[in-house]
Amino acid sequence: MMAPLPSGEEAAQAMRLALAEAGLSPEEVDYLNAHATGTPLGDTAEALAIRLAFGEHANSLPVSGTKGLYGHALGASGAIEVAITALALDRGWVPPTANLEDPDPECPLAYVPANGRDATIDTAMTNSFGFGGINASLTVKRW
């Protein structure tokens, strides 16, 4: 039997801790690379967690899920996504959420559409969530 996915509050706590350890306020984050596996249960919990951790800033925080670009690489997903997030800072470009055509109203966030967009990104966060509450949120900042 598999352990349950993290709740919205549990996942929000990993994001809050990452922000606190980095000495950042939610408003300082310019982009969030979501775990975003494309499952109704997981994506709804993550969207709730983002809203809990970022408050009003979640309304304008660009969020994308990049697994649609390369697939779910299981344990390697976190490494791939931190590389994508670092490239976003370097290139000044927010990657898209591939194949997202009709966002779920249960997941109201500022998703980045199909082609991505140029943006100044000084600070970003990437989420990696696993079964049983094994969650990680990592912040990266422009050097």
Give the per-residue pLDDT at 99.
86
* The model scores a pTM over 0.85: yes
Which of 18-27, 32-41, 110-119, 124-133 has the weakest average pLDDT?
Answer: 124-133
Mean pLDDT confidence for 52-73: 94
Q: Would you say residue 4 has pLDDT above 80?
A: no
Give the per-residue pLDDT at 46.
93
Give the per-residue pLDDT at 132.
67
Position 102 confidence tier, pLDDT thresholds 50, 70, 90? confident
- What confidence tens digit (pLDDT) does each residue in 9-54 have? 888 998 999 999 999 999 999 999 999 988 888 899 899 999 999 9
Distance between CA atoms of 50 and 111, rounded to whole angstroms? 12
Structural domains in the chain, CATH included, are 11-117+127-141 (3.40.47.10)
Identify the burial level of 60 via C-beta atoms within 10 angstroms of its C-beta, where 0-12 means exposed, 13-18 middle and 19 or more buried.
Answer: exposed
Higher pLDDT, 111 or 7: 111
Contact in structure between 136 and 42 (CB atoms under 8 Å): no
Mean pLDDT confidence for 112-138: 89
User: What does the angle CA 62 – CA 28 – CA 80 come to, to the nearest 5 degrees?
Assistant: 55
Position 1 confidence tier, pLDDT thresholds 50, 70, 90? very low
Residues 6+ apart with CB under 8 A from 50: 12, 15, 32, 34, 58, 61, 63, 109
Identify the burial level of 137 via C-beta atoms within 10 angstroms of its C-beta, where 0-12 means exposed, 13-18 middle and 19 or more buried.
Answer: buried
